[in-house]
Amino acid sequence: MAQAVIKSFKKEQGFGYIDHPEHGDLLFDFEACNFEPEVGDVVEVTQIGKRYDGSPKAKAVICPSKPPKK
């Protein structure tokens, strides 16, 4: 599984982008994370789906260095 980095995250809007080595800028929603995301977090994208326009979107994101959110 490729490691990626959170490039941006807007908590008030609930989404951000991950710099993914295979998919480039990958949109993710807060609900896709099992942790509190922050810019610079090294993450693993475990599931990728499609956005309404057909581009890839992260559906499940984990951060091994952070505890799961409650």
24-52 pLDDT, tens digit per residue, is: 999 999 999 999 999 999 999 999 999 99
On the question of pLDDT at 63 being above 80, the answer is yes
Domain spans of the chain, in order of start: 3-62
CATH of domain 3-62: 2.40.50.140
Please tell me the distance from the alpha carbon of residue 55 to that of residue 68, in angstroms, as a whole number.
28
Torsion of CA 23, 26, 30, 34, to 10 degrees: 20
Q: Is the pTM of this model over 0.85?
A: yes
**What percentage of residues in the chain have a pLDDT greater than 90?**
86
Question: What value does the mean pLDDT of the chain take?
Answer: 93
Distance, CA of 29 to CA of 16 (rounded, Å): 7
**pLDDT band at residue 70 using 50, 70 and 90 as cut-offs:** confident
